[in-house]
Amino acid sequence: MLFQLKEKNKLLQKDNNKFEKIRNIISKVKYVAKNVIYVKNALNSYDMYPSSKSLEGKPKFNVEFRFGSYQVKTIRNSDSLMNNVKKLRFEIFFDEKNPNKIDSDEFDEECDHLVVIDTSKSKDYVVGTYRLLYRKSESAGVRFYSQSEFNITNILNKRSSLLEAGRSCVRKEYRDGRIIKLLWKGLATYIVKSKVEYIFGCASFPSSDHNRFLNQLSYLNHYHSPSEDLQTNPLDNLKAEFKVISKKKINNEKEFRSLPPLIKAYLRVGAYVGSGAVIDNNFDTTDVLIILDTKKLLKKYSNLSKGLTT
């Protein structure tokens, strides 16, 4: 019995150490929240409608903690907070304030939604959110939003635990780094609880004119492509047609600095970027697919994270 207790304590300590490593790494990443990764949909709803009730209304993985006046937690689509989440998403993604309009799609029902609430304002004042779609290993039947833009067959064939992270946004007056940091701490907690092996999602350049970003796209192709078993490709009908610029003509430092803040942040923690890009005329963006192997992230940065404060 004593031996079993000791072994259990060792396992718990190991999980705690793993969480601290991820949390410390993620806490280093700072960027403007408007450019954070989000999964845009083709079927946004512009009018209010009641959320359908999800199974039991409980998150697949419960995350809940407080920091000062801020409460961070996961909720489901049936939660009363979701209307405020969807109002905030509409305001940020469509740059318009309208209390009777929301951003919503069919994926909301399948996801856990990570939210940050400023309780000093009210118990339902949502200031940040992240949408998380989980698939456990060896599971079939889960469809991801990214599949509407990219061929992600190689990722799906890994039969690993997967997490599509998207639709993240922060209220404009809270973009001083504190809320996005809390969201990423919540994401780190979720990663550990769900034992996710790969995280992925769409990231955007701020125009559907992909020719403006040929140097950056070529840089990503040369220096941040995944291995063949993780490679992804744009769907043919959405693919941005361009010729990759020669590696010799790419100024690495210049092109890295010119990338959108979110993409830079993910590259710094070891992310890959799939092949090619997608033109999204509905949102006037050029999209790429981000892929993160959490084991690679831990192996590469665990030593650097020691002694860091969050």
pLDDT score at 53: 41
pLDDT score at 228: 95
Judged against a pLDDT cut of 60, whether residue 29 lies above it is answered with: no
* Residue 298 pLDDT level (bands cut at 50, 70, 90): low
Judged against a pLDDT cut of 90, whether residue 302 lies above it is answered with: no
**Distance between CA atoms of residues 81 and 230, nearest Å:** 36
Domains, the chain, in order of start with CATH, read: 19-305 (3.40.630.30)
Average per-residue pLDDT for the chain: 81
pLDDT score at 42: 33
Contact 33, 179 (CB under 8 A): yes
pLDDT score at 239: 98
Number of H helices, E strands in the chain: 8, 11
pLDDT single digits (tens) 117-164: 999 999 999 999 999 999 988 677 789 999 999 999 999 998 889 999
CB atoms within 10 A of CB 238: 16
**144: number of CA atoms within 13 Å, CB side?**
30
Mean pLDDT score, 89-116: 88
Q: Specify the DSSP element, H or E, that contains 233.
A: strand 233-234
Q: Return the bridge partners of 289, or none.
A: 202
pLDDT score at 35: 37
* Residue 13 pLDDT level (bands cut at 50, 70, 90): low
Contact 53, 79 (CB under 8 A): no
Q: Which residue has the tokens 């361009």?
A: 242
**Distance between CA atoms of residues 247 and 48, nearest Å:** 49
pLDDT score at 266: 83
Report residue 81 CA to chain centroid gap: 20
The token pair at 137 is 């290993």
Name the residue among 159, 196, 166, 202 with its Cα closest to residue 22. 196
pLDDT score at 294: 79
Name the residue among 183, 77, 73, 83 with its Cα closest to residue 133. 77
**Distance between CA atoms of residues 298 and 14, nearest Å:** 13
Reported pTM: 0.77
Where is pLDDT greater, at 99 or 77? Answer: 77
Q: Which residues of 245-263 are buried (b: 16+ CB within 10 A; e: fewer)?
A: beeeebeeeebbeebbbbb
* Residue 31 pLDDT level (bands cut at 50, 70, 90): very low
Name the residue among 147, 159, 45 with its Cα closest to residue 104. 45
**Distance between CA atoms of residues 263 and 288, nearest Å:** 9
The token pair at 236 is 């043919």
pLDDT single digits (tens) 216-262: 999 999 999 999 999 999 999 999 999 999 999 999 999 999 998 87
pLDDT score at 230: 95
pLDDT single digits (tens) 179-224: 988 988 898 889 889 999 999 999 999 899 999 999 999 999 999 9
